[in-house]
Structure 1
Amino acid sequence: MKFTISPQAQTWYRENLDLRPGDGLHFYGKVYGKTNVHDGFSLAFLIEKPRNPYYELQIDDISYFFTDNDVWFFKYYDLQIDYDAKSDSPIYTFVPEA
């Protein structure tokens, strides 16, 4: 259960969400939608500082994380976050945990 975030996706988050050093991006599963491995649930995020994250990846002093309450959504998978220039947005792919 880990994240990888491409440099292009990091730039998109910083520029479009106005993230600054010390900020955090909390990823979680929400009802409705789907991912490549979830049916009926999709990925969402909130800008908030981490408080006891279950998993945290820090890049350029920005925390990308999920909490204990989110483990069910990420369990058995790693999340790869990349950037799609055509849609000008991040793309999310879940892959089996290594």
Structure 2
Amino acid sequence: MNIIITPKALDWFKKEMDLQAGDAIRFFARYGGCSTVQKGFSLGMAKEDPIEPVAQTTVDGITFFVEDQDRWYFDDHNLTVDVNEKTDEPMFIIQ
């Protein structure tokens, strides 16, 4: 599993979540919502440090990761994070 953060998404995280080098964002499964990979679940995010990451990438000093306990949600797919230009919110693409 790979995590790809587009330049627009990186700018969004820095601005909206006040991130700087050394910070980390966790992507996790949450109950409710909709997803293309797990019915009845959606993807959440939180500013926290990794404990047992199964996938991670660091861009401009900021780490983006998924913990081992959430591996099932991604079902061995890759995660790309971009920004929806109409809503100015993160857009998660799981392929």
TM-score by length of 1: 0.90
Distance of 1:30 and 1:52 partners within structure 2: 18
Distance of 1:52 and 1:37 partners within structure 2: 22
Moved segments of 4+, more than 4 Å? none
Residue type of the alignment partner of 1:54 = V
Distance of 1:82 and 1:44 partners within structure 2: 14
Secondary structure of 1:87's counterpart equals coil
The aligned counterpart of 2:3 is 3
Shift of 1:2: 1.2
Shift of 1:33: 0.8
Distance of 2:7 and 2:81 partners within structure 1: 10
Contact preservation (8 Å) 1:9, 1:90: yes
Secondary structure of 1:77's counterpart equals coil
Give 1 or 2: higher strand fraction. 1
Aligned residues: 95
Cα deviation, 1:5-39, whole Å, max 9, x if unaligned, reads 11001100110000111000000101111112221
Shift of 1:68: 1.1
The aligned counterpart of 2:81 is 81
TM-score by length of 2: 0.93
Q: Unaligned regions of 5+ residues in structure 1, if any?
A: none
Distance of 1:18 and 1:87 partners within structure 2: 19
Q: Unaligned regions of 5+ residues in structure 2, if any?
A: none
1:49-60 correspondence runs (5 A): 49-60=49-60
Distance of 2:41 and 2:24 partners within structure 1: 22
The aligned counterpart of 2:44 is 44
- Identical aligned residues as a percent: 33
